[in-house]
Amino acid sequence: MSKDIRVRKGLDLKLKGEADKQLVQAPQSAIYAVKPTDFHAVVPKLLYKEGATVKAGEPLFYSKYDEKVKFAAPVSGTLVEIVRGAKRKILEVHIKPDGTNEAVNHGKLDPATAGADQIRETLLESGCWPFIIQRPYSIVANSEDTPKSIFVSAYTTAPLAGDAEFIISDRMEAFQAGITALSKLTSGAVHLGVKKDSALTSVKDAVIHKVKGPHPAGNVGVQIHKIDPINMGERVWTVGAEDVVTIGNLFLTGTYQPERTVALAGTDVAEADRKYYRFIAGANVNTIVKNVNTQKTRIISGDVLTGDKLSNDQYLNFYHNTLTLIPEGNEYALLGWLPFTRNSVPSNAGTSLAKLFGGKKKVDTNLNGEERALVVTGEMEEVMPMNIYPLQLIKACMSGDIEKMENLGIYEVAPEDFALIDFTNTSKLEAQETIRLGLDLMITEVG
Amino acid sequence: MKWVRNKLDQARKPFEPGQKLEKFAPAINAFDTFLFTPNHTTKKGAHIRDVVDLKRTMITVVFALIPALLFGMWNTGAQYLYQERQLGSVLDVPFWDAFLEGAILVTPLILVSYIVGLTIEFIFAIYRGHEVNEGYLVTGLLIPMIFPVDIPLWMLALSVAFAVLIGKEAFGGTGMNILNPALTARAFAFFAYPLYMSGNAIWVHEGSTDAVSGETILGALAGGTYDGEIMGAAAESVAFTGVPVQESSVMTNISFNDMFMGYIPGSVAETSALMVLIGAIILVATKVGSWRIILGGLIGGAAMGAIFNFFGDLGSDFIMQLVDSDRITMDQVYNDASAVDALNLSGWDATLMELGTNQLINFPFWQHLVVGSILFGIVFMATDPVSAAQTFKGKWIYGILIGFFGIMIRIFNPAYPEGIMLAILLMNVFAPTIDHYVIQANVSKRKKRAKKAQVKLQTA
C-alpha cells in the first residue's frame, strides 16, 4: 500500500559542503560515552559506580520515572568516569572499551512470529527502547503505552543532513526485521516516509508514503500531520531510520549493536573528508574531527538547523546522523541591513536576492541582526507546512497558556518542526527553544 | 572600515556591562548597529540564520516611501508657486523651483517628527533596558507625509508625542500597539486641531491668504461644488467609459490624469497614486507589505464604490425621467432648491433625488480609489503588520473591510472625507477579533478531529 504526500510550504536550503555518499568505517574511539542529556526529560538512576566492568548492551542507568526504560553501554569495557554538572546532574557516562566487545545475548527472536509482549520486553531489556520517541512532547516513549501508529522517516530534507536511505541501504535485512518488530507494538500501522524514487518501497509490514516537497517534508512530524495527526490524549511513536536497523539487528543476532552512521559535512571539513562514517554509538568526535579551532569553527552534532554545539572533545549524540562543521560568523558587516546586499547569505526574505542567485551557499553562524520585538507576520507560515498557526502557538507557549497551546496544536509539534522558523524569522526569535519550554510545561502540567 | 570599527569599539567601552554608562548602552548600540551588523553568533536554536532583520525590513519600507515623499515635496512646492505666481497649470512651475520650495516646506516637518519620536523611543529603550526598535524609522517618515503642509510644528510635535507615548509605548512598545502610530498621530491632530487639519484652505501652503482655494477634490465633492450639470451628464454615462470627470468651476484643470499623477492639493505626500503604486510594488515584491491586505483593500473599496454608484445610477435615471417629462430642468436640479421642493417628492422618490444629486455617490468607484489618501492608507498604513490582522485569511478580511469602510465613511459622512484614516483605525481595533475567529476555525477543526477519533476508538 502506498500513499503519496505532497508538502508545499517550506524551504530547501542549498548549502555548500555536502557529504559524499561513500561509507567509511570510523576508527575506534578511546572512550565511548552515553549522555543522559541526549534523552530529554529523563532523570537517570545509575546502576554502576566508576570502575565497574560492563558488557556491551548491559544497562548503565535507567529512567527514574519509568524504571523499565534502560540505557545500555554501547561497548564492553570499564566505566571510567561519570561526568557531573551543576547540582551533581549526570552529564556523561564514560566507558573505556576493552576491545573484546563482549555483548549481552538476549537470544535470537523472529519478529514475524514473536508476540508483542516478548518484543516489548526484549526492547526494554536490551537498551533499544530509548530509540523509540513519543509524540506528543518528543521524549523517550513510555514503556506501558501502545501507540496508535508508529512513524519512520527515511526521507532526509534537512540541509547537509546524512541521507537516511543511504545510511540504511546496506542493512536492509535488519531494517525489515526492525519494521516488523515495531509493527507488533502498535494498534495501527507503521508508516514509512520515503523519497519519491526510493528503493524502500518493497519494505513489508509498513505503509509506504512517498513524500515530496521542500524541508521540513522529511521531518517525521510533518508526515504524521499529513497521514494520521495526533489528537489530544493520543500517543504516536517515531523511530529514526538507522535506529530501526539497530532494533532489527537485536532480533537477528540477539545482541545490542548500536551503530551510528554520521555524515561529516560542512564547509569547514576538508573536501576529501566529507563522507559517511560508521561509528559505534557514543564515540568521541575527535576520532574524525581533528585540529579544529572552535573559535573559528563550530562543530554541530546534527544538522545546522536543529543540532547541538559541541566542543572538539565531546561525544556524538545518541540520535544524530550528521556532524556539521561550519565557520563561526563572529564578524561585523558594514551596513549589513541594506536591502539586496549580502546575497551570499541564504535567505527566504524578499529583501535579499539570495534566491535569485541560485547555487549552493556557504553559511556561518552569524545571527545577521539582533533580537527584536515581533513585528513581521506571515513569514513563519511560509515555512510551516502543518495546519497550525505558528506565531500564535509560540506566543501561547511564551505565556504558558496551556488551554491555548492545546487548542493550537501543541501535541502535534516538536521543536525540530520550528527549526525553519528559527532560521527565517526577522525578529531572531528562538522558536525551537520556546516550543521546547512549552512542551516541558505540558509534560509537568498534563503529562 | 577597520578604523571606523576600532573607533566605535573604543567609543563603546564606557557602555559595556559593569561600566559607568551601562544603562545607556541601547543608545550607543542603536548607532553602532546602524553602521555595522553586529558580530553576534547564534547561541541556541538553529545555528544559521536568515540575512533579514528588522532594520532591513524597516529600511525597505522607507525606500518604498521615498518616491511618494519626493513627489510630495515637488507637489507641495508646485501647488504653492502655481497659486503664488498665478500660472495656468501646476506643471508650468519650473521643476527645481517647485522641488526646492517644497523641500524647504516639508523638511522641518520630517525633522520634528524624527527628533521628537526618536527621543521618546530612546528614552523608553534605556528605561526598559531593551534595544531601540527600528519601527519608528517608518512611522517618523509617515507622519509628516499625511499632514497638511501648514501644520504648526508644535502641533506636529504634540501629535507625534501622543502617538508614540499613548499609541505605542503605553501598550508595551514596538510590536504591541493596537493602533497604527502614524494614524494615531493624524487622528489626534484631526480631532484636537480640526481647523488646521480639514477644510478648504489648508492643503496648499498659505492657501488661506490666497485668492485661489486649495480645496481637495473630495472636499469639493462633499460640498457639492463639483460642477453639477456635468455631473448629471456624467452620471448618465457613469464614466465607465473611461472619460475623465470634467473639471468644475472651482476645480479647474483637474483631470483623471492629474488625480492619478497627483498634481492636486492634499496632504504632503499622499496625492500621487502613481508614486504610491510604485511603493506598493516595492512592498509586495520584497514581501514586506502584505499583498493580501493591499488587494483586499482595493477590492473592498471598489466594491463599496460600485454599490454606491449603482444607487447613484438609479437616482440619475429618475432625474433624467423627470427632465424628459419636462417637470424640471437639469439646471434646476442642481442649482434651484425651490424648484426641487416644488416637485413635492416623498418617500423613495425623494431618496432617489438625493442619490442622483449626491456627487460623492456618483463619483465613479475607480476614481474614488485614486483621489484622497485611500490608496496611500491601504498601501502604507493598513499593511503595518503589528496593527493588522496576522493570519492570511484575516488579512484578506481586514483589507477588504478597510476598503469597504473607507469609502463608506467618505460618502456617508462628508465631514470626514478622509474616511480611510478612520476605517483603518477601526479595523486596527477589530484585527485581533478577526484573527480570533480565523484561529477559532482552526481550533474547532482540531477539536472535531479529536472527537471523531474518540468515537472511532469507542466503536472499535
- pLDDT at B248 (0 to 100): 35
pLDDT-above-90 percentage for chain A: 83
User: Residues with Cβ < 8 Å from B148, sequence gap 6 or more?
Assistant: B196, B197, B202, B203, B267, B268
User: Residues with Cβ < 8 Å from A360, sequence gap 6 or more?
Assistant: A14, A15, A16, A18
Chosen domain end from B192, B212, B232: B212
Residue B44 lies in a domain: no
A374 to chain B: which residues are within 8 Å by CB? Answer: 175
A396 touches chain B (CB under 8 A): no
- pLDDT at A45 (0 to 100): 95
B454 touches chain A (CB under 8 A): yes
ipTM: 0.91
A339 to chain B: which residues are within 8 Å by CB? Answer: 56, 59-60, 63, 286
B230 lies in the same domain as B206? no
Give A141-177 pLDDT, tens digit per residue.
999 999 999 999 999 999 999 999 999 999 999 999 9
Report how far residue B237's alpha carbon sits from residue B246's, in angstroms, rounded to the nearest whole number.
13
B418 lies in the same domain as B329? yes
Q: H/E element holding A259? A: strand A259-265
Residue B301 lies in a domain: yes
Question: Residue B346 carries which side chain, given as an amino acid letter?
Answer: S
Among candidates A248, A105, A70, which has minimal Cα distance to A175? Answer: A248
pLDDT-above-70 percentage for chain A: 100
Backbone phi and psi for residue A264, each to the nearest 5 degrees, phi listed first: -95, 110
A296 touches chain B (CB under 8 A): no
DSSP string, A356-377: TS-S-B----B-SS----S---
Q: What part of B 206-265 touches A (C-beta under 8 Å)?
A: none
Report how far residue B38's alpha carbon sits from residue A368's, in angstroms, rounded to the nearest whole number.
7
How many Cβ atoms from other residues are within 10 Å of residue B449's Cβ? 14
- pLDDT at B83 (0 to 100): 82
Closest residue on chain B to A369 (Cα)? B53
B196 lies in the same domain as B309? no
A426 touches chain B (CB under 8 A): yes
DSSP string, A294-348: TTTEEEEES-TTT-EEE-TT-B--SS--EEEEEE-----EETTTSTT--TTS---
Reading the block at residue A406, the C-alpha cell is 492545546
Residue A180 near residue A139 (C-beta atoms within 8 A): no
Mutate to test the interface with A, among B6, B8, B29, B47 (most CBs of A within 10 A): B47
Residue B191 lies in a domain: yes
Confidence label for A407 from pLDDT (cuts 50, 70 and 90)? very high
Q: Which residues of A386-417 are buried (b: 16+ CB within 10 A; e: fewer)?
A: bebbbbbbbbbbeeeebebbbbbbbbbbbbbb
Mutate to test the interface with A, among B12, B53, B456 (most CBs of A within 10 A): B53
| Statement: residue A326 has pLDDT above 60 | yes
The SS3 assignment for A208 reads strand
Give me the residue spans of the domains in chain A: 1-329, 333-362, 379-445
Q: Cell match 501508529: residue?
A: A149
Closest residue on chain B to A362 (Cα)? B48
User: Residues with Cβ < 8 Å from B194, sequence gap 6 or more?
Assistant: none
Is the Cα torsion angle B240, B242, B246, B251 positive or negative in sign? Answer: positive
Residue B459 lies in a domain: yes
Check CB contact under 8 Å for A350 and B285: yes
Check CB contact under 8 Å for B37 and A369: yes
B258 lies in the same domain as B122? no
Give A28-87 pLDDT, tens digit per residue.
999 999 999 999 989 999 999 999 999 999 999 999 999 999 999 999 999 999 999 999
B391 lies in the same domain as B312? yes
- pLDDT at B254 (0 to 100): 61
Residue B28 lies in a domain: yes
- What is the interface size between A and B, counted as CB pairs within 8 Å? 222
Residue A52 near residue A79 (C-beta atoms within 8 A): yes
B221 lies in the same domain as B111? no
Give A193-202 pLDDT, tens digit per residue.
999 888 898 9
Cα of B436 to nearest chain A Cα, Å: 10
Residue B72 lies in a domain: yes
Reading the block at residue A15, the C-alpha cell is 548549502
- pLDDT at B230 (0 to 100): 37
B59 to chain A: which residues are within 8 Å by CB? Answer: 337-339
Check CB contact under 8 Å for B48 and A346: yes
Burial of B398 per CB tally in 10 Å (0-12, 13-18, 19+): buried
Backbone phi and psi for residue B102, each to the nearest 5 degrees, phi listed first: -65, -40
Residue B17 lies in a domain: yes
| Statement: residue A204 has pLDDT above 60 | yes
What residue numbers bound the domain in which B96 lies?
Answer: 57-212
- pLDDT at B342 (0 to 100): 82
Check CB contact under 8 Å for A419 and B395: no
Chosen domain end from B151, B182, B212: B212
Q: 10-residue block means of pLDDT along chain B (460 residues)? A: 81 81 81 84 91 92 95 92 82 90 94 95 88 89 92 95 93 90 93 82 64 57 52 32 33 66 85 93 94 96 94 88 84 77 82 83 86 89 94 96 92 77 94 96 93 82
Give B183-237 pLDDT, tens digit per residue.
999 999 999 998 888 776 677 777 644 434 445 667 667 666 554 333 333 333 3
Check CB contact under 8 Å for B46 and A375: no
B248 lies in the same domain as B296? yes
Q: Cell match 489626534: residue?
A: B188
A347 touches chain B (CB under 8 A): yes
Reading the block at residue A421, the C-alpha cell is 522558523
A417 touches chain B (CB under 8 A): no
B230 lies in the same domain as B327? yes
B137 lies in the same domain as B242? no
Chosen domain end from B194, B212, B230: B212
B221 lies in the same domain as B200? no
Q: Average pLDDT in the A336-356 region?
A: 88
The SS3 assignment for A60 reads strand
B15 lies in the same domain as B86? no
Residue B402 lies in a domain: yes
Q: How many domains is chain B built from?
A: 3
Q: What torsion, rounded to 10 degrees, do the Cα atoms B113, B116, B117, B123 define?
A: 170
- pLDDT at A8 (0 to 100): 92
Check CB contact under 8 Å for B50 and A391: no
B307 lies in the same domain as B432? yes
B134 touches chain A (CB under 8 A): yes
The SS3 assignment for B2 reads helix
Average of per-residue pLDDT values in chain A: 92
A328 touches chain B (CB under 8 A): yes
